[in-house]
Amino acid sequence: MLGLPNSTEVNRRVAKEKLYANAALTPQLRDTLRDQIEAVIWRNKLADSTAGVSAGETVKEIQVFEVQLRQRGLDKRVLYAIANAIPYKILFVLTFGGEAQAWIEAAGAFYNTDWTAPDRLSLKFEGLNLDAVYENLARQIAGGRLDDEGDIAKAVERDKQRQKLKRDIAALEKKVLREKQFNKQVELNSELKRLRKELEELR
């Protein structure tokens, strides 16, 4: 999977019972995991011993988990729960109906690719150590939402600010269209202009 070297392959099924035992799941999340996931397969392990890439300061290993779904989509809270239960960084590959989608966590936020054919899910595993490899993966999967350089936590924070501004702008645009009073329209448009300028500066 993902064109990784044979030396990184594990191809071992992860029992759901192990996830139940190790992940902090509410009864609702346990039901969600059971209902939405067909199987979890540990596909690859990237480490100094398997991939010849030295461990980083924070990333010692990267695990690749294939999550076979029963529907096209997964409650993101399940990924958070699985990620918190495993002491290593995880690259999730969700699969359903002949399509695949990559998910990865960066600084507390999850990013994902669009759904595509599995053989077209192309990621470059590049970096001087596993810290750099993981950050590069996160930036690729985020699809331009994270800055190409600099501290990734700061890049995630800026992205969160941009996403919030976009939501605020969309809500304000709807409000302007509904507003009948001219003075109020002027006031709302002024706020809209300010938010758009703030968004442009963040870009």
Helix (H) or strand (E) holding 43: strand 37-46
- Give this prediction's pTM: 0.84
Is 176 in contact with 192 (CB distance < 8 Å)? Answer: yes
Q: What is the pLDDT of residues 146-178, one digit of tens each?
A: 987 788 989 999 999 999 999 999 999 999 999
Ranges of residues in the chain with a pLDDT under 50 are: none
Q: What Å distances lie between residue 25 and 67, 81, 130, CA to CA?
A: 17, 7, 29
Query: pLDDT value at position 84?
Result: 84
d(CA 60, CA 194): 44
Helix (H) or strand (E) holding 99: strand 99-106
Structure tokens at 24: 């902090």
The order of strands in the sheet holding 89-96 is 9-14, 37-46, 62-69, 89-96, 99-106, 109-112
Q: What is the pLDDT of residues 103-117, one digit of tens each?
A: 999 988 999 999 999
d(CA 144, CA 139): 7
Query: pLDDT value at position 203?
Result: 74
Query: pLDDT value at position 18?
Result: 80
Beta strand 62-69 with 89-96 is: parallel
Q: What Å distances lie between residue 26 and 30, 31, 49, 157, CA to CA?
A: 6, 9, 36, 28
